[in-house]
């Protein structure tokens, strides 16, 4: 939607955004942009209500021709009822404003919402960050592979400004977070003939150099010596060899013995199902079976470029392609992992847990982690259980669970805790190995 989105600048805004609560007039701060009463008059129109995300446009008469400081357009943003407004609400507002800004071909948008935010006693920076995040996410599009047979619209540049310095600081943070998320989305959309494990490694190395992260790629005989048998086994059938990408963020003030948080991402660059081949339309879209690793990639960029925590963070992207050839692993194979656990393969389309197991074992044995979090498109069963409103979460630590739930709520990407009980181990037992990779019954 936009080639670039920036914060700040001195150019005259294409429009100013002000706020309004439900069934109330435009906030008092809007008077500075309403010399002739056009904004107040627009709020009296029947389609203008102040409902959450209701947007009303006003055009101060003569402002474009006279010497008044009123902008050519004022957008009155509905904020809903005052008691229900939260910082997270501004994320959807940002997305709505991005659509409008694109449709009116705005080059600069001035946002003056400090008054309503203060009335609700909300954190101005957090609200601005959420708004810019929504704006940046909505402003993203993937057009890298359009060829000469497609006519695409030219995208423009836009700057976001605010009379409030605190708000502009929040806008910068939010755009930074959106940029990191959009990196993950770009990777996710890249097709498998391009996004091989080696390509993912190359992208990680380029990002790491720019963001100041340490990046190490393990492949070939290194996987054997490290005992990463899950990746090696699952990726054996493909000419695109598997690898493990390790990214490390270490803040300047971190001690040498500081234990890192470790993020592990399932990065299946394509999943045909292997010999347990996907049928019907089940294979279409499996380029996105790498999305767990893409999310970890984006998170590491955000950590290094925007958040900059005092905590060491290590990321492990377990990359492989689940393909079919005479080298493919089979149902009935038994795999032994680095910690000695043996797994009987009952379904080659349950491959994600095998590559993740490598990352989890490595994190436990080699990284001395304070906590380990894995992200994965692991099973369609979670979508059946929870739909698209929540991601499924298993966690055996109440403190960490609470932290994840708080972060998920703040980011607008909610999670729901699923049961993690010893009773399920009985369903995982194998008659010849320690466990199976896929239970025969649900």
Mean pLDDT score of the chain, rounded to an integer? 95
- Give residue 207's pLDDT band: very low, low, confident or very high (50, 70, 90): very high
Cβ-contact 302, 177 below 8 angstroms: yes
Same domain, yes or no: 409 and 288: yes
Same domain, yes or no: 287 and 246: yes
Q: Strand 313-322 and strand 243-249: pairing?
A: antiparallel
CA angle at 57 for the pair 55 and 60, rounded to the nearest 5°:
150
The arithmetic mean of pLDDT across residues 186-204, rounded, is: 99
pLDDT tens figures, 291-304: 999 999 999 999 99
Last residue of one domain, picked from the residues 119, 140, 174:
174
Same domain, yes or no: 263 and 305: yes
* Alpha-carbon span 213 to 247, nearest angstrom: 6
Residue 104 lies in a domain: yes
Same domain, yes or no: 46 and 72: yes
Q: What pLDDT, on the 0 to 100 scale, is given for residue 151?
A: 78
Count the residues in the chain. Answer: 442
* Sheet of 334-336, strand order: 334-336, 342-344, 435-436
Which of 278, 288, 366, 401 is flagged as catalytic?
A: 278
Last residue of one domain, picked from the residues 105, 140, 174:
174
- For position 269, which CATH number holds? 3.40.630.10
Same domain, yes or no: 333 and 196: yes
**Token digits for 248?**
């490390």
**Token digits for 327?**
């080298």
Same domain, yes or no: 199 and 128: no
Closest C-alpha among 36, 48, 52, 42 to residue 88? 52
- Give residue 154's pLDDT band: very low, low, confident or very high (50, 70, 90): low
Q: Percent of the chain scored above 70 by pLDDT? A: 98
Whether 278 is catalytic is yes
- Give residue 10's pLDDT band: very low, low, confident or very high (50, 70, 90): confident
pLDDT tens figures, 28-75: 999 999 999 999 999 999 999 999 999 999 999 754 444 556 799 999
How many domains does the chain divide into? 2
Same domain, yes or no: 27 and 153: yes
Same domain, yes or no: 158 and 282: no
Which of 91, 185, 287, 353 is flagged as catalytic?
A: 353
Residue 185 lies in a domain: no
* Alpha-carbon span 66 to 75, nearest angstrom: 20
Same domain, yes or no: 282 and 401: yes
- Give residue 1's pLDDT band: very low, low, confident or very high (50, 70, 90): confident
The arithmetic mean of pLDDT across residues 320-348, rounded, is: 98
Same domain, yes or no: 194 and 170: no
Closest C-alpha among 83, 86, 163 to residue 130? 86
Whether 365 is catalytic is no
Last residue of one domain, picked from the residues 116, 140, 174:
174
The boundaries of the domain holding residue 380 are: 190-436
Q: What pLDDT, on the 0 to 100 scale, is given for residue 65?
A: 47
Q: What pLDDT, on the 0 to 100 scale, is given for residue 67?
A: 54
Residue 87 lies in a domain: yes
The arithmetic mean of pLDDT across residues 403-416, rounded, is: 95
Residue 184 lies in a domain: no
Distances (CA, A) of 368 to 232, 260, 313, 396, 404: 24, 7, 11, 18, 20
């Amino acid at each position: 939607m936009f080639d670039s989105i920036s914060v700040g600048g001195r150019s005259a805004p294409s429009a100013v955004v002000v706020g309004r609560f439900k069934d109330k007039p435009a906030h008092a701060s809007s008077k500075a942009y309403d010399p002739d009463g056009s904004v107040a008059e627009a709020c009296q129109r029947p389609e203008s209500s102040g409902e959450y995300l209701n947007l009303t446009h006003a055009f101060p008469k003569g402002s474009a021709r006279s010497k008044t400081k009123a902008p050519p357009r004022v957008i009155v943003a509905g904020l809903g009822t005052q008691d229900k407004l939260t910082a997270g609400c501004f994320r959807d507002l940002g997305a709505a404003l991005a659509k409008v800004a694109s449709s009116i071909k705005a080059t600069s948008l001035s946002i003056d919402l400090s008054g309503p935010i203060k009335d609700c006693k909300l954190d101005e920076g957090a609200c601005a960050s959420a708004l810019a995040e929504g704006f940046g996410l909505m402003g993203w599009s993937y057009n890298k592979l359009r060829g000469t047979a497609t006519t695409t619209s030219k995208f423009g540049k836009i700057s976001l400004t605010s009379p409030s310095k605190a708000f502009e600081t929040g806008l910068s943070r939010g755009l930074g977070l959106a940029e990191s998320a959009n990196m993950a989305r770009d990777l996710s959309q890249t097709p498998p003939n391009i996004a091989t494990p080696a390509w993912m490694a190359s992208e990680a190395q380029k990002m790491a150099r720019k963001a100041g992260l340490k990046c190490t790629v393990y492949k070939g005989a290194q996987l054997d010596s490290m005992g990463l048998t899950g990746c090696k086994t699952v990726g054996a059938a493909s000419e695109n060899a598997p690898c493990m990408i390790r990214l490390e963020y270490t803040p300047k003030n971190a001690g040498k013995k500081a234990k890192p948080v470790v993020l592990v991402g399932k990065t299946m660059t394509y999943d045909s199902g292997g010999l347990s081949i996907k049928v019907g339309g089940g294979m279409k879209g499996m380029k996105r079976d790498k999305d767990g690793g893409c999310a970890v990639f984006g998170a590491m960029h955000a950590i290094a470029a925007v958040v900059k925590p005092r905590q060491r963070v290590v990321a492990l992207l377990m990359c492989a392609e689940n393909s079919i050839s005479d080298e493919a692993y089979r149902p009935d194979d038994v795999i032994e992992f680095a910690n000695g656990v043996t797994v009987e393969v009952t379904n080659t389309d349950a491959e994600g847990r095998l590559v993740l197991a490598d990352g989890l074992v490595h994190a436990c044995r080699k990284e001395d982690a304070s906590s380990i979090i894995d992200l994965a498109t692991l099973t369609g069963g979670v979508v059946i259980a929870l739909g698209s409103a929540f991601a499924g979460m298993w966690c055996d630590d109440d403190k960490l669970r609470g932290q994840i739930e708080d972060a998920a709520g703040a980011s607008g990407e909610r999670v729901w805790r699923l049961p993690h009980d010893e009773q399920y181990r009985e369903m995982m037992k194998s008659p010849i190995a320690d466990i199976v990779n896929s239970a025969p019954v649900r």
